[in-house]
Amino acid sequence: MKRTRRSVALSLSWILVLAAGSCLAAAAPEDFHLSRDTRSTLAAIQQDWSEWLAAYELNDGEAQDLALEGLVDGAAELGMKVLPELSLAAAVRAVESAGVGDRQRALRALEAAERLDPGRPETSFASAAIHRLEGSWGRFLGETARGYVRALGVPAMRRAWRHNLVLWLLTTLLLAGCAYVAILMLVRGPALVGSLLKALRRHLPVPVGVALILALLVWPLLLPARVQAVVLNWIILLWAYCVRSERWVLGCLLLAFGLTPIVLDEQRRQVGVEMASPVRAAEDARDGRLGGTVFGDLQRLAIVLPDSTAVLHLIADQHRRMGQCDQARGLYERVVEREPRNAGAWVDLGSCRFLGGEYGQAIESYRRGVAIDPDLAQAHFNLSLAFSELYRFAEADLALRRAQEIDSGRVAAWLKQTPRRAAAEVAAGLERSREIRRDLKASWVFEDDGAAWSSPWRDYLSVPLALAGVLLAALVGRFLPVGLLEERASPLVTPAAGWGTLYRVLVPGLPDLEAGEPLRGLAGLVIVCGLLLVPWASAYGYRQPWGYEPAAGLGWAAALLGLALFFLLRWRREVEF
Amino acid sequence: MAYQGSLSDSPFPEVLQHVGRTAGTGILTLQGRDEIIGVTFLDGEVVSVDAVNQPPEDGLGYVLAVSGLVSREDFSVLVAENQAGGGRVIDLLVERGYINRRQLLEALRQQTLRLCAEACSWESGQFRFYRGDQVSYEHGIEPINVDDLLAKLAVGPERPAAAAVAEPEPAASRAPAWLTPDAMPSPSGARPLAAPDAGPAVEILGLEPRTPKALAVEMPAMAPPAVEMPDPEAWRDEDEPAGRRRSRPWLDVDWTAVRAPQLPGRLLGIGLLVALAALVLLAPDRFLVPLEAQERIRTGMASEVLSSLFGKVDRAAKTYFLLRGRFPADLRELIALDLLAPGDDRLADDRRLSYTAAPVSYLLAIEGEARLDASTRTETISGNFLLDPEFSPPELLATPPLVLLD
């Protein structure tokens, strides 16, 4: 009941935000109003997609190309570069066609996918699937590898990988650490049990002593965190029987246990923010990705962070890109009001005024921009355009020369790409997605911490517990009666040859702990645990935000290959010795 | 990997030199045909040597006896007392005033040389160096440089002046002639039973004194000693009372009790490994965040993992809608199209996702747990300009173009 209430509380804020977003989307708020022209372009994109699908079904290549051109042009009209969702759908269509043996259409669809969103990892994965269906295994592997490389270039995917890598590393370290303690019990356990039994034998019958020792070792199973409690208990008991480097490993393991929840809490906050649709929309706008819900999501962003100047700036830039200068202008004015030293906003405000024919005001805005950042080439270039419109050619020439001095290459490009003498954009607001993420995360942390059920001391409880564990272990080791330490020794657990060789090869860490090389032993365990967890990580961790799945089983293949190689090397070294 | 190998390939002096050169700290174990010797190194210098199967009377007792410092009888009494009262025999020797500290250290040094000399005679066997950060040895003992040790061994150990007491023959029976004084009655091939107080290396290594049977079980590579069962009193006085022999503590060791603790320790270690694997597979979040007090972190993490899964399903379902004009009837359709991975219809703890499609929307939840929170999500095509026909009404497209007459 308590847990359910917490879950509800945790998600309530987001539900409210989303609900509010939906209501306001219906009411078309002033922050993100779509003009009739924009809606018309969006409708045209929708229609072009339907035409592409129909042409694909009819295998009409010309109509497909025409529809494709319409889609790309439609996105460009809105100042966007790519249509990722349509690209994904085209890639799926390609694999479907390949599945029924229509290679020609499959390749055509794949080309369309690449055209709609160049460099997309999903397109490579789809291409790999097509090669797999055709039995071209070399190309399949090549395209799969290409897909992964492309995925590294997509920020959202890169972030998901980074988070999963942290998760995998922490799990690997802790699992390897626990396995280390278990193997330490194999090696040092007999000495521990033996010395305890020796002490107890003086006062108690042997069976009672054995029962007591067993109880001492496993009593933490009664605690809530059973396995970890047992590990902690064993660390404390084995501490006295370990050499210094082993104690270091045990101490670090305890600290890792203590810090892991805090790292994961921080990580899940980051993930929550990064996965939020408004944040994704901000990044889509920055990268020119025209998704189906990008406008609604940007609108939600404005609702979630109503006081964020970065959000205002970003939305203003997006309006301006889409040619909705009336909306953009009002937003820019609010931005410069809050951030008078924002040169980019001044310049883009000037561009809105310029497009509205208010050249005098435009010049004023550009001059404010130049005053703040004299090296802003866009400001000088736009200033030259405005002066030209007012027939002040000498000043225009001067401003243009100044812009060329600052960045002649870009000025040449602006002159070439803007035959109608359109203003150059700064679009600094589109680059503020990182700041927006930070603001969003800050507001989320505030909501969480303010909740009645949240208390920081509970979140950080694991750290003092870990430190107490280290301290207790050291104290027990220090003050343990001398008699109990008579057998602080590493017994020869395994014989030198025969099955002992096999045992040492297959149980990583054991021969190294026997040989007094604990760090090497831990490294072996980390490698094995890490490889074993590779396939597990994809099922347990945060899902990759890609739309098309690469071939299944690659994780297993990598893990098995790695393990085979690892044990082969161990076998060779063992045999050599 | 540990430094190890066969004495037939690398003779003992060579092994000593290697460890000495590498300034190793740890214990070098030599496993001969029917004896195990442990050489303790500190930074490449020898600080102690012990034989596992050699009782104190055959080791330190012999050295002290031939030095004329402690008689065999006195030493045996001390060993018996030690067994009853605990502690170390060597401490008892000093406490009782038989010898002083300096004499003790010298005797230990003699013992070291004697055992090294014995090991030098081994032509077969295995060795392994157990490296460690710290080793245990008698306080005050002067470490012996390996080169010095080898030089001394080349001329034989520094023998005590009084050699009236017979020295026990080394177990390998291949000891150099100078190790076996003529006057000494040899227990030829006899393998003495181990004593529980076998010396510091035994303690460090945890090498419990073993019966030949135990050795055969633990070290199958070794050929079982083709010798008779030992007679540890072979070199003692013939007229020693039989009753006293029987009461000797090393004969009264409860072997079952000594060896029994090995099993629980190992079983517990294996048990923990199994429990860990099960925990990681069945409840990974509880493995990483085990405390009940940190449930908020666990819940929050699970919620974000679920969100990422929902996001993926949403992307797949809407791609499907783009192609078919409807949402799929089942998540398996999305898996078949590779829009989802095979495991994406369930969570890591094997709870399945429940998916219900409607013409323009779908409901996604955890099976049997649909409720009004983040674990249940409804998605529609509303607001998506690619899917929603009402987002941009058709009349927008039907707008007649503006015709300029001029």
Is A89 in contact with B322 (Cβ distance < 8 A)?
yes
| pLDDT classification of B231: cutoffs 50, 70, 90 | very low
- Answer whether residue A4 is part of any domain: no
**Do B288 and A261 touch, CB atoms closer than 8 A?**
yes
Closest CB to A292 among B27, B31, B386? B386
CA angle B128, B129, B133 (to 5 degrees): 155
Radius of gyration in angstroms for the set of CA atoms belonging to chain A, rounded to a whole number:
32
Interface contact B92, partner A, CB < 8 A: no
For residue B350, give the nearest of B366, B328, B334 by alpha carbon: B366
Average of pLDDT values for B146-168? 57
Domain limit, last residue, from A155, A178, A200? A155
Question: How many residues does the structure list for chain B?
Answer: 406
pLDDT tens, B30-58? 888 778 888 888 888 888 888 877 776 67
The residue among A350 and B3 whose pLDDT is bigger is A350
Instruction: Please give the Cα distance from A267 to A260 (Å, whole number).
Output: 10
Best A131, A172, A504, A543 residue to mutate vs chain B (most B CBs within 10 Å) = A543
Interface contact B391, partner A, CB < 8 A: yes
**Do B63 and B114 touch, CB atoms closer than 8 A?**
yes
Residue given tokens 């293949």 in the structure block: A557
The residue among B114 and A116 whose pLDDT is bigger is A116
CATH number for A402: 1.25.40.10
A139 and A91, same structural domain? yes
A149 and A165, same structural domain? no
The residue among A342 and A221 whose pLDDT is bigger is A342
Q: Please state, as a whole number, how many other Cβ atoms lie within 10 Å of the Cβ of residue A284.
A: 23
| Nearest chain A Cα distance for residue B151, angstroms | 28
Residue A248 CA to chain centroid, in angstroms? Answer: 32
Q: Residue B276's pLDDT is what? A: 77
C-alpha to C-alpha distances, A564 to A71, A556, B281, nearest whole angstrom? 50, 12, 22
Is B206 in contact with A487 (Cβ distance < 8 A)?
yes
Interface contact B321, partner A, CB < 8 A: no
CA-nearest residue of chain A to B341?
A549
pLDDT tens, A128-138? 999 999 999 99
**Average pLDDT value for chain B:** 69
**Do A516 and A488 touch, CB atoms closer than 8 A?**
no
CA angle B225, B228, B234 (to 5 degrees): 120
A394 and A315, same structural domain? yes
B148 and B21, same structural domain? yes
Is A275 in contact with B307 (Cβ distance < 8 A)?
yes
C-alpha to C-alpha distances, A195 to A198, A199, A245, A477, nearest whole angstrom? 5, 6, 22, 13
Question: Helices (H) and strands (E) in chain A — how many of each?
Answer: 26, 0
A307 and A425, same structural domain? yes
A169 and A62, same structural domain? no
Average of pLDDT values for B283-303? 83
Of A122-126, A503-507, B271-275, which one has max mean pLDDT?
A122-126
For residue B387, give the nearest of A45, A123, A122 by alpha carbon: A45
- Answer whether residue A1 is part of any domain: no
Is B206 in contact with A542 (Cβ distance < 8 A)?
no
**Do A384 and A400 touch, CB atoms closer than 8 A?**
yes
Q: Residue A421's pLDDT is what? A: 62
Q: Please state, as a whole number, how many other Cβ atoms lie within 10 Å of the Cβ of residue B352.
A: 12
pLDDT tens, B188-200? 333 333 333 333 3
Is B292 in contact with A540 (Cβ distance < 8 A)?
no
Is B292 in contact with A218 (Cβ distance < 8 A)?
no
Question: How many residues does the structure list for chain A?
Answer: 577
- Residue B218: pLDDT over 70: no
- Residue B167: pLDDT over 50: no
| Nearest chain B Cα distance for residue A62, angstroms | 20
CA-nearest residue of chain B to A88?
B319
Interface contact A219, partner B, CB < 8 A: no
pLDDT tens, A282-294? 889 889 999 998 8
**Do B41 and B25 touch, CB atoms closer than 8 A?**
yes
Residue given tokens 């009084």 in the structure block: B162
Q: Residue B24's pLDDT is what? A: 80
- Answer whether residue B391 is part of any domain: no
Closest CB to B341 among A188, A536, A552? A552
C-alpha to C-alpha distances, B92 to A241, B47, B75, B97, B250, nearest whole angstrom? 25, 21, 10, 8, 17
Is A14 in contact with B397 (Cβ distance < 8 A)?
no
Angle between helices A554-576 and A499-506 (to 10 degrees): 140
CATH number for A63: 1.25.40
Q: Residue B395's pLDDT is what? A: 64
The residue among A107 and B113 whose pLDDT is bigger is A107
Local structure of A564: helix, strand or coil? helix
Instruction: Find the domain containing B363 and state its range.
Output: 292-380
Domain limit, last residue, from A439, A473, A501? A439
Q: Residue B403's pLDDT is what? A: 57
pLDDT tens, B4-20? 888 877 788 888 888 88
Instruction: Find the domain containing A192 and state its range.
Output: 158-270+458-576
Average of pLDDT values for A30-57? 86
Three-state DSSP string of A452-489: CCCCHHHHCCHHHHHHHHHHHHHHHHHHCCHHHHCCCC
Selected residues 139-198 of chain B with any CB under 8 Å from a CB in chain A: none
Interface contact B130, partner A, CB < 8 A: yes
B320 and B244, same structural domain? no
Q: Residue A386's pLDDT is what? A: 92
Q: Residue B185's pLDDT is what? A: 32
Least confident of A149-153, B212-216, B256-260: B212-216
Local structure of B50: helix, strand or coil? strand
Least confident of A203-217, A450-464, B30-44, B58-72: A450-464
For residue A444, give the nearest of A83, A69, A13 by alpha carbon: A13
Domain limit, last residue, from A109, A127, A155? A155
**Do B343 and A539 touch, CB atoms closer than 8 A?**
yes
- Answer whether residue A369 is part of any domain: yes
Q: Residue B401's pLDDT is what? A: 54
Residue A218 is which amino acid?
A: V
pLDDT tens, A372-431? 999 999 999 999 999 988 889 899 999 999 999 998 888 888 887 655 567 888 888 888
Residues of chain B contacting residue A95, judged by C-beta atoms under 8 Å apart:
337-338
Instruction: Please give the Cα distance from B214 to B335 (Å, whole number).
Output: 59
| pLDDT classification of A28: cutoffs 50, 70, 90 | very low
- Answer whether residue B321 is part of any domain: yes
B217 and B95, same structural domain? yes
| Nearest chain A Cα distance for residue B134, angstroms | 7
Q: Residue B316's pLDDT is what? A: 94
- Answer whether residue B313 is part of any domain: yes
**Do A2 and B361 touch, CB atoms closer than 8 A?**
no
Q: Residue A11's pLDDT is what? A: 41
Q: Residue A446's pLDDT is what? A: 43
| pLDDT classification of A119: cutoffs 50, 70, 90 | very high
Instruction: Please give the Cα distance from A64 to A73 (Å, whole number).
Output: 14
Residue given tokens 């950042």 in the structure block: A373
- Residue A437: pLDDT over 70: yes
- Answer whether residue B58 is part of any domain: yes
Q: Where are the alpha helices (DSSP H) in B96-211?
A: 101-120, 146-155, 200-205
Task: Give the neighbor-by-neighbor strand order of the sheet with B353-357.
Answer: B353-357, B361-366, B376-380
Instruction: Please give the Cα distance from B261 to A214 (Å, whole number).
Output: 10
Angle between helices A309-321 and A294-304 (to 10 degrees): 160
A287 and A265, same structural domain? no
- Residue B177: pLDDT over 70: no
**Do A392 and A361 touch, CB atoms closer than 8 A?**
no
Instruction: Please give the Cα distance from B238 to B249 (Å, whole number).
Output: 19
Closest CB to B397 among A11, A47, A229? A47
Of A416-430, A528-542, B72-86, which one has max mean pLDDT?
A528-542
Residues of chain A contacting residue B2, judged by C-beta atoms under 8 Å apart:
511-512, 514-515, 517, 577
Best A22, A92, A274, A569 residue to mutate vs chain B (most B CBs within 10 Å) = A92
Closest CB to A40 among B27, B261, B397? B397
B237 and B100, same structural domain? yes
A176 and A67, same structural domain? no
Least confident of A165-169, A340-344, B105-109, B400-404: B400-404
A413 and A335, same structural domain? yes
CA-nearest residue of chain A to B294?
A459
Selected residues 174-203 of chain A with any CB under 8 Å from a CB in chain B: 174-175, 178-179, 181-186, 188-194, 196-197, 201
- Residue A539: pLDDT over 80: no
| pLDDT classification of A499: cutoffs 50, 70, 90 | low
pLDDT tens, B220-230? 233 333 333 33
Tokens encoding B82:
């030690």
A564 and A503, same structural domain? yes
**Average pLDDT value for chain A:** 83
Average of pLDDT values for B123-128? 83
Q: Residue B112's pLDDT is what? A: 86
Residues of chain A contacting residue B392, judged by C-beta atoms under 8 Å apart:
39-40, 42-43, 46
Residues 6+ apart with CB under 8 A from B390: B382
Residue B47 CA to chain centroid, in angstroms? Answer: 24
A425 and A307, same structural domain? yes
- Answer whether residue A81 is part of any domain: yes
Selected residues 243-262 of chain B with any CB under 8 Å from a CB in chain A: 257-258, 260-262
C-alpha to C-alpha distances, B367 to A399, B128, B328, B353, nearest whole angstrom? 66, 58, 18, 5
CB burial of A13-38 (b: ≥16 within 10 Å; e: otherwise) equals ebeeebeebbebbeeeeebbebeeeb
A162 and A150, same structural domain? no
Instruction: Please give the Cα distance from A352 to A332 (Å, whole number).
Output: 9
For residue A68, give the nearest of A122, A128, A108 by alpha carbon: A108
Interface contact B208, partner A, CB < 8 A: yes
**DSSP class of B352:** B
Residues of chain A contacting residue B265, judged by C-beta atoms under 8 Å apart:
185-186, 188-190, 192-193
- Residue B381: pLDDT over 70: yes
Average of pLDDT values for B288-307? 85
Instruction: Please give the Cα distance from A142 to A149 (Å, whole number).
Output: 11
Residue given tokens 């007999």 in the structure block: A190
Residues of chain B contacting residue A89, judged by C-beta atoms under 8 Å apart:
319, 322-323
Residue A157 is which amino acid?
A: M
Q: Residue B193's pLDDT is what? A: 31
Residues of chain B contacting residue A231, judged by C-beta atoms under 8 Å apart:
272
CA angle A351, A354, A358 (to 5 degrees): 140
Q: Residue A428's pLDDT is what? A: 86
Identify the burial level of B62 via C-beta atoms within 10 angstroms of its C-beta, where 0-12 means exposed, 13-18 middle and 19 or more buried: buried
- Answer whether residue B187 is part of any domain: yes
In chain A, the number of structural domains is: 3
Interface contact A95, partner B, CB < 8 A: yes
Least confident of A23-32, B82-91, B271-280, B302-311: A23-32
**Do A244 and B134 touch, CB atoms closer than 8 A?**
yes
Q: Residue A140's pLDDT is what? A: 93
Residues of chain A contacting residue B293, judged by C-beta atoms under 8 Å apart:
458, 461
Domain limit, last residue, from B237, B260, B283? B260
CA-nearest residue of chain B to A466?
B291
CB burial of B308-336 (b: ≥16 within 10 Å; e: otherwise) equals bbbbbbbbbbbbbbbbeeebbeebebbbe
B89 and B43, same structural domain? yes
- Answer whether residue B273 is part of any domain: no
pLDDT tens, A63-110? 999 999 999 999 998 889 999 999 999 999 999 999 998 989 999 999
CA-nearest residue of chain A to B399?
A40
Closest CB to B206 among A40, A190, A461? A190
Selected residues 211-230 of chain B with any CB under 8 Å from a CB in chain A: 218-221
**DSSP class of B32:** -
**Do B168 and B186 touch, CB atoms closer than 8 A?**
yes
Least confident of A147-161, A544-558, B311-325: A544-558
The residue among B125 and A260 whose pLDDT is bigger is A260
The residue among B85 and A358 whose pLDDT is bigger is A358
- Answer whether residue B403 is part of any domain: no
Is A539 in contact with B385 (Cβ distance < 8 A)?
no
Tokens encoding B182:
């003529």
Selected residues 381-420 of chain A with any CB under 8 Å from a CB in chain B: none
- Residue A335: pLDDT over 90: yes
| Nearest chain A Cα distance for residue B385, angstroms | 5
- Answer whether residue A54 is part of any domain: yes
Domain limit, last residue, from B241, B260, B279? B260
In chain B, the number of structural domains is: 2
Tokens encoding A555:
């994780």
Best B19, B205, B280, B382 residue to mutate vs chain A (most A CBs within 10 Å) = B280
C-alpha to C-alpha distances, B114 to B37, B108, B117, B122, nearest whole angstrom? 12, 10, 5, 13
Q: Residue B372's pLDDT is what? A: 64
B338 and B214, same structural domain? no
Q: Residue A348's pLDDT is what? A: 92
Interface contact A511, partner B, CB < 8 A: yes
Instruction: Please give the Cα distance from A325 to A329 (Å, whole number).
Output: 6
B232 and B301, same structural domain? no
- Answer whether residue A305 is part of any domain: yes
CA-nearest residue of chain A to B319?
A89
B153 and B26, same structural domain? yes
For residue A188, give the nearest of B272, B206, B201, B131 by alpha carbon: B206
pLDDT tens, B246-286? 333 333 333 333 343 456 666 777 777 787 777 777 777 78
Backbone angles phi and psi of B68, in degrees to 5: 75, 20
B246 and B142, same structural domain? yes
For residue B86, give the nearest of A210, A486, A491 by alpha carbon: A486
**Do A154 and A135 touch, CB atoms closer than 8 A?**
no
B144 and B83, same structural domain? yes
- Answer whether residue A278 is part of any domain: no
- Answer whether residue B234 is part of any domain: yes
A256 and A243, same structural domain? yes
